[in-house]
Structure 1
Amino acid sequence: MSKKKEHKEEAQQEKQTEATAEEVTEDSQEVAQEKKDSQLEGLQKELESKQSAYMRLAAEYDNYRKRTTSEKASIYGDATAKAVNEILPVADSLEMALKSAENAPDEYKKGLELVCGQLLSALKKLNVEPFGEIGDEFNPELHNAVSKIDSEDLGENTLSMIFQKGYKTGDKIIRHAMVQVANCD
């Protein structure tokens, strides 16, 4: 019987050892799983941080690209306006010559008309447009009123005479038109 008892005791010890081994294995698996979970969580946070940094960098680059495009357009517009402003006295002189050439020979008048047309065509290619025609409504943002007259033929705040044409490129005024305004209050 003692062998049976020994065998039973050995069996119980084996069961206890197996149970202890299972507990140790379960504990070590739980610890390993917790470690993996914490590593995964850390990697996910790092990934989110990197993605956030990438998105900020992409947005910053997009803003930089838009800003430089806008600055280039502004610089081009300013340079065009400055160059055109230097040419405008020549355009004014050609217009005055054309007006005074009404009694001149036709060839002379046609030559002046061609030169004026070429100049206006060149300005148009630079997106420069003249403005200020007789009959237009007075706009203080576009026109510089140098005199006024009372006239029943023209409406209120109407341009009655143009002393100097105005020029603009897009919304930017290069030179205001110098005008006379009818019936100005």
Structure 2
Amino acid sequence: MMKDNENLENLENQEEGMENENANSNDNVDIEENIEDLKEEAQVSEEKKKEEDELKMFKKYKDENKKLTNELETLKDRLLRVSAEYENYRKRTTKEKEGIYTDACIDVLKEIVPNLDNLERALEANGNIEDMKKGVEMTLKGFRTALEKLGVEEIETKDGFDPNFHQAVMHVQDENLDENSVAEVFMKGYKRGDKVIRHSVVKVAN
């Protein structure tokens, strides 16, 4: 009888141990499941944060791109305006230059045309050589007067040879002349202010 009681007690203890083992096993399973759930939640949270960061970055790039596009359009518009203004300025200055040139030509022609009339009258005259000579002298005087009005003056040679105003085509040895002096003028030169119209063609003494 005592032995049966001991066996019964042992059996109960075994069942209780098995129940404890099952309970511990279930607890372990629950912990593992909780860990897996936490891992999944962490992964989902990380992916969500990554998506949010990517969305923020995309929005930032989109805003920057829009800003740069607006700046580019502004620069394009400014460039077109500057180009148009420059083209208008170029046309205006070209027209003004043409007008100035035309006015200058007219001023010159106004002074020259009367001398042309004098030459024609001299040729049409039925007088003698002396009359023709007087007509030519009058025309020459008219030309000189016209040149003076236009600010044109003859280049002097009395101060010696100056390559800025004279063109030497011959040289001569002459004891009676100073070195580098102009011995002879083959063709007169003219200037207007500091601008040389034509150099004097001269012979220079060595």
Q: TM-score, normalised by structure 1?
A: 0.54
Q: What one-letter code is carried by the residue in structure 1 that aligns with 2:44? A: E
Match 1:82 to one of 91, 96, 103: 103
Q: Any idea what SS the aligned residue of 1:69 has? A: helix
| Count of residues in correspondence between the two structures | 119
Match 1:33 to one of 42, 46, 54: 54
Deviates most, 18-27 or 75-84: 75-84
Q: In structure 1, how many angstroms separate the alpha carbons of the residues matched to 2:60 and 2:37?
A: 34
Counterpart of 2:81?
60
Per-residue CA deviation, residues 146-165 of structure 1 (Å, 9 max, x unaligned), is: xxxxxxxxxxxxxxxxxxxx
Q: In structure 2, how many angstroms separate the alpha carbons of the residues matched to 1:107 and 1:95?
A: 11
Counterpart of 2:113?
92
Over 3 Å counting, the alpha-carbon distance change for 1:94 and 1:86 in structure 2 is same
CA RMSD of aligned residues (A): 3.2
Shift in Å, 1:85 = 3.4
* Aligned: 1:17 with 2:45: no
Counterpart of 1:47?
68
Q: What fraction of aligned residue pairs are identical, expressed as a percent?
A: 10
Equivalences for 1:104-183 in 2 at 5 Å?
104-105=132-133, 108=136, 112=140
Shift in Å, 1:107 = 9.5
Larger RCO (CA within 8 A; separation ≥ 6): 1
Larger radius of gyration: 2
Q: Which runs of 4+ in 1 moved over 6 A?
A: none
Q: In structure 2, how many angstroms separate the alpha carbons of the residues matched to 1:52 and 1:64?
A: 18
Q: Any idea what SS the aligned residue of 1:105 has? A: helix
Shift in Å, 1:57 = 1.6
Q: What one-letter code is carried by the residue in structure 2 that aligns with 1:30? A: E
